[in-house]
Structure 1
Amino acid sequence: MRYLIALAMLVLPELALAADWEDQLIFNPEAEGDRLRVISSTDTVLFAPLIEGFVAQNPTVSVEYLVSGTADIDKRVRATPDAFDIVVSSAMDLQLKLANDGYALTLDDIETPRWAQWHDSLFSFTTEPAAIVINRAAFEGQDLPVTRQGLIETLRERPDVFRGRVGTYDVRQSGLGYLFATQDARASETYWRLMEVMGSLDVRLYCCSGEMINDLADGTILVAYNVLGSYAAVRTEGKNALEVILPTDFQTIMMRTALVSQATQAPDAAEAFIRYLVAGTPAPQESQSSLPPLASPDGSADRETIGLNPALLTFLDDLKRKKFLSAWENAVIQ
């Protein structure tokens, strides 16, 4: 049985002056026990089935689900850590830094592989690749670009078609976009050549995957680079105009992570929620989650799963971040 999802009518007192959420919903609002406050970068349509499954098993708990961008989540949690119980984000580097800086509660005996958690305080629960998504209308009679070099050649050969109609993240604003960009740059110099070509074509810059896919669907753009694969798969399902391409040269794969705020007001319910996510417990049959499960890194040369380790913090260093963003702006903002 699906639980009622109700629009939240009130904002948290701590955030009354900054409640411009992308979405805000309450699950199981009639529950008489704890209310978990979950701040997340995941679109509600993808995450709702997981929450519904959790409250089905924990009927005395309600969940307030607050959606915001990855970089904004980091800022909000640092500013008011007691305003949230659970923090969920696709920006692994920012999450790891939050945990490292003492914002995460340590949980004992969470059954998960060591590579999928950090110091018993940050836990992975999905594995998701970055993808190239195209509008097929622009590729009739043309080979599809299945590698980054192939995409470069495609854009160079038909600049009149693609000028102003290519999209990617604005890595200055998007935490996930910055993570994907830095990992791509570490893996291959092809990334910088691709950014230069996209910049020369007046690339459109976005905050998030959802907006890129919306513009792909209506033809505003014809190619989107580094779209989150899980979003692309869901949003393109049944839409013949769009196609998701996982690059064959190498795939950048992130793990979506969750932590319990050190300042949580409901530690027992919050821990139960993390255990539920990590266990991969299925949602109710009539509302299956669209998020892919956690998968062990296979070690393939063409699949680079971003690890939960100190290397993630490299590009969060102020000087390194400033240097990277300067190089990115020089390539993209032409």
Structure 2
Amino acid sequence: MRYLIALAITLWASFCGAQDWEDRRVFNEAGTTPLRIISSTDTDLFEPLIASFVAENPDVAIEYLVTGTADIDSRFRAAPDAFDIAISSAMDLQLKLANDGFARVLKTIEHPEWAEWRQSLFAFTTEPAAVVINRAAFDGQPIPQTRQELIEALRARPAVFQGRVGTYDVRRSGLGYLFATQDARASETFWRLMEVMGALDVQLYCCSGDMIDDLAAGKIAVAYNVLGSYAAARADEENTLEIILPSDFPTTMMRTAFVSTATQHADAAERFVQHLVTQQSTGDEAGPTLPALRDQSDGAERAIIALEPSLLTFLDTLKRNKFLAEWESAVIQN
């Protein structure tokens, strides 16, 4: 029996290892119950949560596979039985997967109503979209605190910012698309900012980590709509970075997780999601490095994107195509 379990783990690892991943890591290989987690969260940020889980659940071996938010959606739809848990910052794509029947109902998990969807999709962090700057580019200049002030700063010194502004390529990034559609719903300022960035030959990225790497290296001077948690993790190390939470209209997403309806290890997968929501709800700073789950009742002033059907609006094919056409017209000006 132990031979069969070991063989299964080996074959599973070989199958997943043959695919392209941004990162792939196995935790607690001695565990006899394998869990496969597909996630958009960098391993370094998520490792403390995994470590605390396997310390309490030594029977579970975890293979943690990192890829982009849009890729999670397409891979999961193509092979829902290949993964036990999906974790993503793209709330809209996660909600659609849950709504389409890919997420298992977990009735034993108690969670605030605003942070879950039909007992199948569970939020466990709240994280703002941020503007992050390299201070050197703003030496002696006022630091913009709103999107309008950022527009004015970019227009005032185009030579400084030409080719040195970064944001998501919303055609490839699920999270980038979510942030962009939410911004566009909030204010027309978003479209003016996109046009200004496009005129400056904006650099387009798949993810926050790459943007912050180039920002720290001085290749770009401004990164727009970066995940606040990623920026905070690097700002502690890089004294050249400054995080701005725009005061005109805030955007805060919730990172979510669900268990696949096709999982063969439902008990272990449910225990893992319970661990996530418990630790992040209590905000145990000794464990997780990701932000805790916070609602607005604790004095937070930043509006949280709600887990509700309106999230699916811009996933409609016609609306998505129209939005992307407008975005490309504003941003791709070559």
TM-score range, shorter chain: over 0.9
Secondary structure (helix, strand or coil) at the match of 1:103 reads coil
CA contact 2:48–2:287 (8 Å) conserved in 1: yes
Task: Map 1:67-86 to 2 at 5 A.
Answer: 67-86=66-85
Structure-to-structure mapping, 1:257-296, within 5 angstroms: 257-280=256-279, 288-296=287-295
Q: Give TM-score, length-normalised by structure 1.
A: 0.93
Number of residues paired by the alignment? 324
Equivalent residue, structure 2, for 1:310: 309
Alignment of 1:1-334 (within 5 A): 12=13, 15=16, 19-31=19-31, 33-280=32-279, 288-298=287-297, 303-334=302-333
Where does structure 1 lack aligned partners over 5 or more consecutive residues?
Answer: 1-7
Alignment deviations for residues 108-164 of structure 1 (CA, whole Å, 9 cap, x no partner):
031110010001100000000000000000111100011000000000000000000
- Secondary structure at 2:109 match in 1: coil
- Aligned CA RMSD, in angstroms, stands at 2.0
Q: How far is the alpha carbon of 1:16 from its aligned partner?
A: 6.4
Which residue in 2 is equivalent to 1:3? Answer: none
Distance 1:301 1:273, change over 3 A: closer
Looking at structure 1, the residues matched to 46 and 193 of structure 2 have their Cα atoms a distance apart, in angstroms, of 32
What do residues 45-93 of structure 1 show as CA deviations (whole Å, max 9, x unaligned)?
A: 0000000000011011111100000000000000010000010000000
Percent identity of the aligned residues? 66
Structure 2: how far apart are the matches of 1:55 and 1:318? 41
Question: Matched residue of 1:305: which SS?
Answer: coil
Q: Is the 8 A contact 2:283 2:292 kept in 1?
A: no
Q: Contact 1:14 / 1:83 at 8 angstroms: preserved in 2?
A: no
Rounded Cα–Cα distance in structure 1 between residues aligned with 2:214 and 2:111: 38
1:47 aligns to what SS in structure 2? Answer: helix
Q: Contact 2:283–2:293 at 8 Å: present in 1 too? A: no
Amino acid at match of 1:113: P
CA deviation after TM superposition for structure 1 residue 30, in Å = 1.2
* 3-state SS in 1 of match to 2:154: helix
SS of the aligned residue for 1:149 comes to helix
Distance 1:288 1:276 in 2: 11
Paired residue type of 1:190: T
Matched to 2:21, the amino acid is: W
Aligned-pair distance for 1:255? 0.2
**What residue ranges of structure 2 are gaps of 5+ in the alignment?**
1-8
By how many angstroms is 1:239 displaced? 1.3
Q: Which amino acid aligns with 1:27?
A: F
Contact 1:52 1:283 in 2 (8 A): no
The corresponding residue for 1:4 is none
CA–CA distance in structure 1, aligned partners of residues 310 and 260 of structure 2: 23
Taking the aligned partners of 2:210 and 2:11, their CA distance within structure 1 comes to 27
In 1, the alpha carbon distance for the partners of 2:235 and 2:298 equals 29
CA contact (8 A) 1:88 1:258 kept: yes
> Secondary structure of 2:106's match?
coil
1:288 shift after superposition: 3.2
Query: By how many angstroms is 1:300 displaced?
Result: 8.4
- Give runs of ≥4 in structure 1 deviating > 3 Å: 8-17, 281-285, 298-302
Bigger shift: residues 291-300 or 245-254: 291-300
Q: In 2, distance between residues paired with 1:262 and 1:68?
A: 21
Q: CA deviation at 1:272?
A: 0.4
Q: Is the 8 A contact 2:125 2:291 kept in 1?
A: yes
Report the Cα offset of residue 182 of structure 1: 0.1
